């Protein structure tokens, strides 16, 4: 074989390998049947009254640590809850927790 034959063959093999790798990644990364149904750790709901900590400022939405998991959270009143504040779950909208700030003097459980 000459160099003129090797280079196009190598390019064709490289393209074929990339296509195979791309298809295999797509097959192996399929989403689970109930992946959109559950939150982190497989828990779909958090009981009202559960306490946690605002990981980011909730202005009015952000991230909170509740029941040992990070959740999207939204302030029930629409007011900003600062990062690090103790919060209490009021309700839940899908996978978003609706929270209020916990009165001062109560330790966080998140």
Q: Is there a domain that residue 73 lies in?
A: yes
Residue 50, Cα to own-chain centre: how many angstroms? 20
User: What mean pLDDT is reported for the chain?
Assistant: 84
Same domain for 93 and 46: yes
Same domain for 50 and 5: no
Domain count, the chain: 2
Q: Is there a domain that residue 110 lies in?
A: no
Average pLDDT over residues 89-107: 86
Structure confidence at residue 23 as a pLDDT band (50, 70, 90): confident
Q: Dihedrals φ, ψ of 25, to 5°?
A: -65, -40
Same domain for 44 and 26: no
| Res. 31: pLDDT tops 70 | no
The model's pLDDT over 35-84, given as tens digits with 9 standing for 90+, comes to 555 555 566 788 999 999 999 999 989 999 998 889 999 999 999 999 99
Average pLDDT over residues 19-35: 73
Which residue range is the domain that position 51 belongs to? 40-101
Lowest-confidence pick of 1-10, 45-54, 93-102: 1-10
What whole-number distance in Å separates Cα of residue 83 and Cα of residue 5? 63
Same domain for 81 and 60: yes
Q: Is there a domain that residue 63 lies in?
A: yes
Same domain for 81 and 50: yes
Give the SS3 label for residue 64.
strand
Q: Is there a domain that residue 106 lies in?
A: no
| Res. 30: pLDDT tops 70 | no
pLDDT at 11: 92
């Amino acid at each position: 074989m000459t160099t003129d034959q090797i280079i196009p063959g190598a390019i064709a093999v490289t393209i074929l390998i990339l296509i195979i790798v791309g298809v295999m990644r797509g097959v192996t990364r399929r989403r689970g049947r109930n992946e959109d149904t559950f939150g982190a750790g497989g828990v779909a709901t958090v009981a009202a009254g559960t306490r946690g900590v605002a990981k980011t400022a909730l202005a009015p939405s952000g991230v909170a640590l509740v029941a040992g998991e990070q959740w999207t959270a939204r302030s029930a009143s629409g007011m900003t809850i600062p990062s690090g504040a103790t919060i209490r779950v009021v309700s839940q909208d899908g996978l978003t927790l609706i929270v209020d700030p916990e009165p001062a003097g109560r330790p966080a459980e998140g």
